[in-house]
Amino acid sequence: MSGIRVVEVAAWTYVPVAGAILTEWGADVLKIEHPESGDPQRGLVTSGLIPAGAVNHMFELPNRGKRSVALDLKSDQGRELLMKLVETADVFLTNFRPSARKKLGIDVEDVRAHNDKIIYVRGSAAGQAGPESERGGYDMSSFWSRSGAADNVSPEALGYPVNMPGPAFGDVLGGLTIAGAISSALFHRERTGEATVVDSSLLALGAWAMGPTIAGAHAFNLEGYPKTTPDKAPNPLVNTYGTKDGRHITIVMLESDRFWPELMTVLESPELITDPRFDSHAKRAQNNVECVAAIAAGFARKTLEEWKIALKDINGVWAPVQRPREMVTDPQVEANSYIADLEDSAGTAFKLVSAPVQFDEQPGDVRRAPDHGEHTDEVLQELGLTMDEILEYKISGAVL
């Protein structure tokens, strides 16, 4: 992406993550922020979501590597400067709603009037058409809840739908989707000379993620998708089991006839290999509750660390159920440079997960997020403005 410039008028996580990924791939991403308020996510420290005095990791994640340019788009001067930047850009990236884009004069036709070859990219909660095109949304609402994901992963006995696995779970997936779409649009423009309008939404992402389940529910006319608990897994070799120390291991051995003897050997229960209740996939499915109990008893004999050693060389697929912080020291994560070591502008060290794509076996160029308006002067000077001219804009309040 070296040589590609992105002008981003967006806030929070979902769409800005796309810009962040593009910076890792070499693009110059200009994050446009209001001179006074900036991206609302900068203020999360005051709401207790970021430890006081610590790195604002929730801002760093979707804004890594960008340059911050503080412009007041409600002012004529601020909008004029924005359009000068648009003239130099390849991509315009936004998550503003249709009415806000129209009010600020940054809709497709406004931007294309200054650069007819720019790729215009919109991310939204529920799409640009339909009765809810003006409604906002977050990943927990539009991606997680509305798509059926929350319902599908929640055990009936729980009595309520579970939350997402963590903050911005759907946002970061959606940003990756948009970054890929931008790459395709740039390739299309290079081949044809045509600039496209790219659209994605959290609702579309949720539908895509739940695609097999949605198709199956429709095909079988199911109001609710069948749910199981670990003690009643239909295929006992695709399940999660507890260890002696209260941790868990997940096994995914879809070809159960192939892996049954190996699993029973490592569980030190060789007598179960030929047990008439369990000696075929069909019988294990028929006697699944008893089979699950037998496997569970085997895993309960050792701790997680002991199982990591015992299972190390088996052919069947398994994984420890890790806690998020354990990912930082996971040997595979470290070997592949999946997490980067950074410092914020104050010199405070922190870690940030890299984009999940590498080129030529090299991790992306992960850099810290910018301070509010940090690059305003630098970028405006690149447009040819003198410091005296920039100072006049600062005095008027059009820039920071």
Quick one: pLDDT at residue 47?
A: 60
Tens of pLDDT, residue by residue over 291-344, are: 999 999 999 999 999 999 999 999 999 999 999 999 999 999 999 999 999 999
Quick one: pLDDT at residue 228?
A: 87
- Which tokens hold the place of 373? 């308006």
Q: How far is residue 174's CA from residue 264's CA, in Å, rounded to a whole number?
A: 41
Tens of pLDDT, residue by residue over 366-383, are: 999 999 999 999 999 999
Tens of pLDDT, residue by residue over 24-63, are: 999 999 999 999 999 999 987 656 667 766 889 999 999 9
Residues 6+ apart with CB under 8 A from 128: 98, 122, 199
Quick one: pLDDT at residue 391?
A: 97
Residues 6+ apart with CB under 8 A from 97: 124, 133, 134, 136
Tens of pLDDT, residue by residue over 122-147, are: 999 999 999 999 999 999 999 999 99
Q: How far is residue 6's CA from residue 310's CA, in Å, rounded to a whole number?
A: 50
Q: What is the pTM of this model?
A: 0.94
Residues 6+ apart with CB under 8 A from 202: 14, 123, 124, 125, 126, 137, 138, 139, 141, 142, 143, 170, 171, 174
Confidence of residue 72 (pLDDT cuts 50, 70, 90): very high
Q: How far is residue 52's CA from residue 365's CA, in Å, rounded to a whole number?
A: 28
Summarize the confidence of residues 143-169 as an average pLDDT.
Answer: 94
Per the CB < 8 A criterion, the answer to whether 91 and 118 are in contact is yes
Return mean pLDDT, the chain. Answer: 96
What is the number of other CB atoms lying within 10 angstroms of the CB of residue 292? Answer: 22
Calculated CA dihedral for residues 212, 214, 220, 222, nearest 10 degrees? 140
Summarize the confidence of residues 205-230 as an average pLDDT.
Answer: 93
Q: How far is residue 342's CA from residue 131's CA, in Å, rounded to a whole number?
A: 43
Query: Residues of the chain with pLDDT > 90: what percent?
Result: 94
**Residue 31 DSSP class:** E
Summarize the confidence of residues 4-26 as an average pLDDT.
Answer: 98
Measured at the CA of 215, the angle between CA 355 and CA 229, to 5 degrees, comes to 80
Quick one: pLDDT at residue 212?
A: 95
Quick one: pLDDT at residue 227?
A: 87
Q: How far is residue 390's CA from residue 380's CA, in Å, rounded to a whole number?
A: 7
